[in-house]
Structure 1
Amino acid sequence: MEKTLDFPDLLRLIDERSTAFRAAVASAPSLDVQVPTCPEWTLLDLVHHLGEGRHAWAATVAAGPTATAKSAAEDAPAAPREREALLAWLAESTRELVDALREAGPDRGCWTWWGASQSPKTCGAVARHQLQQIAVHTYDAQVTVGAPQPLPAEVALDGVEEFLSTCVATTSAWPHKPTAFDFHATEGRSWRLTVDAAGARVTPAAETPDEPGVSVHGTANELVLFVYDRIPADTLRLDGDATLFDLLREWEPEE
């Protein structure tokens, strides 16, 4: 697998993307505007989701490796509606998360929801996934205010493999004909998701010379936004059977 971002870089980028998220929120004419990429949410809903989630994950990390479920941040302050106070609350949620991760270090165990994936149950893996969550939601906020920006290159290049190894990889059997999905970034990296009776697993595409069932080509930013359903397939180049992506999205592996 490709070398992932170092832990200090993950913490730096979590803070950087969180700052960009707050800047988008600060520029919005209203917090009640609908988020185009999350149409069931207003911008205020998105802010609450991001802040409450980071408070909760900070509590989970701080609870240590013996925690059996994601800790509820019961002592976290309620999210305010007034803009200046809301932005301060958001900044505090980021500080809590980064401080908890820094205190724990990358190798300490941590409860995670991702079960039998290829991502470890460590604070380093939590930081890696949190960065992608914050980065994609920052894009959501920027789209909402009409100023979308691509994910930073170092974030996007780590994001494809992180999504596949955390959110898709599993030991549950693929219920269809075995196949493979290739993801090719124009920056020069490629990943293969193989699905069969043994489940789903990610490898560098170059290690598996067999033809995939479908391959998708784009910038790393476009690939991340595609796998998170932020942009449609027709904005990228697809070769092969594009309907396989429908099967992949509909698949609900057993826990």
Structure 2
Amino acid sequence: MQLIDERSAAFRVAVADAPDLDAPVPTCPGWTLFDLVKHLGGGDRFWAAIVGAGPADAPPAGAVAARAALELPREREALLAWLAASTEILLNALREAGPDADCWAWWSGLQTPRTSGGVARHRVQESAVHTYDARLAAGAPQPLPTEVALDGVEEFLFTCVATPSAWPHEPTAFDLHAAEGRSWRLTVDGDGARSTRIPAPAAGEASDAVGASVHGTAGELVLYLYDRIQAGSLRVDGDAGLLDLLRAWEPEA
């Protein structure tokens, strides 16, 4: 929860520093910085309601309606206060539930549990990536903090990619190597997609077990996974076309 608080505070600083709330967000086409604020703050309130509702097969109808009907102040100081209150609502819900409480979540549950702890881990990354977006909109992008980014690669693989839905192509694997010394392997086949942490390769070492390997800093890998930067910004070994297949894949829910 501390990391949620820290990244949310960093997001508010980015919003406070931006010259214009109507500035376009290059990494979120069609959105202004104000839209981004609404998305992140509304997301905090939405997930707070989900955690508070406990085990469920769908998000609470009231939470869905409330998010759709959000009205935010346009004055910057009031907007920042609304953002801070949104984060506190989420943190209070997470504290009250505890990390192991079951709740609804959109992910498969294969490698990330559908619990308040799983929600908290994902919200750290939402806040971190959107802080990057906000800084970019203000013309002053900053890299993701290393600790957050290292967990962010794994969290994305475990939450956003893991699925029991069959991979519709020839089975293969992808390795992701962070310059900070941590690596992961994503395997895709008829049983779906799942990831595991693997030993970092020795200098010059390559694996015949994978179709493509992606190398970069942890922050760059997170930004690539969230479609903020393209594969061309990183070092890719093997069949780069497989990355396009992975990006285009839409597993069944």
Aligned to 1:217: 215
The one of 25, 28, 45 equivalent to 1:35 is 25
The one of 128, 134, 149 equivalent to 1:156 is 149
Matched, 1:70 2:68: no
Q: Distance in 2 between the 1:198 and 1:210 partners?
A: 21
Matched, 1:197 2:190: yes
Q: TM-score, normalized by length of structure 2? A: 0.92
Matched, 1:183 2:176: yes
Aligned to 1:21: 11
Q: How many angstroms does 1:121 deviate by? A: 0.9
Matched, 1:87 2:80: yes
The letter for the 2-side match of 1:136 is V
Q: Distance in 1 between the 2:85 and 2:243 partners?
A: 38
Aligned to 1:248: 246
Matched, 1:50 2:48: no
Q: Distance in 1 between the 2:214 and 2:200 partners?
A: 17
Q: Distance in 1 between the 2:200 and 2:127 partners?
A: 31
The letter for the 1-side match of 2:29 is P
Per-residue CA shift, 1:186-213, capped at 9, x if unaligned? 1111000000011101012349965210
The letter for the 2-side match of 1:183 is L
Is the CA contact (8 Å cut-off) linking 1:194 and 1:202 kept in structure 2? yes
Secondary structure of 1:38's counterpart equals coil
Q: Distance in 1 between the 2:107 and 2:14 partners?
A: 30
Q: Distance in 1 between the 2:85 and 2:43 partners?
A: 12
Matched, 1:236 2:229: no
Is the CA contact (8 Å cut-off) linking 2:16 and 2:80 kept in structure 1? yes
Count of matched residue pairs: 244
Secondary structure of 1:192's counterpart equals strand
Cα gap change, 1:34 to 1:206, in 2 (>3 Å): same
Gaps of 5+ in 2: 202-206
Q: Distance in 2 between the 1:48 and 1:207 partners?
A: 39
Per-residue CA shift, 1:217-251, capped at 9, x if unaligned? 01101100010011111111100011111101111
Q: How many angstroms does 1:30 deviate by? A: 1.1
Q: Distance in 1 between the 2:57 and 2:19 partners?
A: 42
Is the CA contact (8 Å cut-off) linking 2:108 and 2:162 kept in structure 1? no
Q: Distance in 1 between the 2:248 and 2:97 partners?
A: 36
Aligned to 1:5: none
Is the CA contact (8 Å cut-off) linking 2:153 and 2:218 kept in structure 1? yes
Secondary structure of 1:203's counterpart equals strand
Is the CA contact (8 Å cut-off) linking 2:181 and 2:200 kept in structure 1? no
Q: How many angstroms does 1:169 deviate by? A: 0.8
Cα gap change, 1:75 to 1:183, in 2 (>3 Å): closer
Q: TM-score, normalized by length of structure 1? A: 0.91
Q: How many angstroms does 1:27 deviate by? A: 1.2
Aligned to 2:138: 145
Per-residue CA shift, 1:5-64, capped at 9, x if unaligned? xxxxxx111011111111111111111110011121011111111111111101111112
Gaps of 5+ in 1: 1-10
Is the CA contact (8 Å cut-off) linking 2:175 and 2:212 kept in structure 1? yes
The letter for the 2-side match of 1:198 is D
Report % sequence identity. 68
Cα gap change, 1:89 to 1:145, in 2 (>3 Å): same
Aligned-residue CA RMSD in angstroms? 1.7
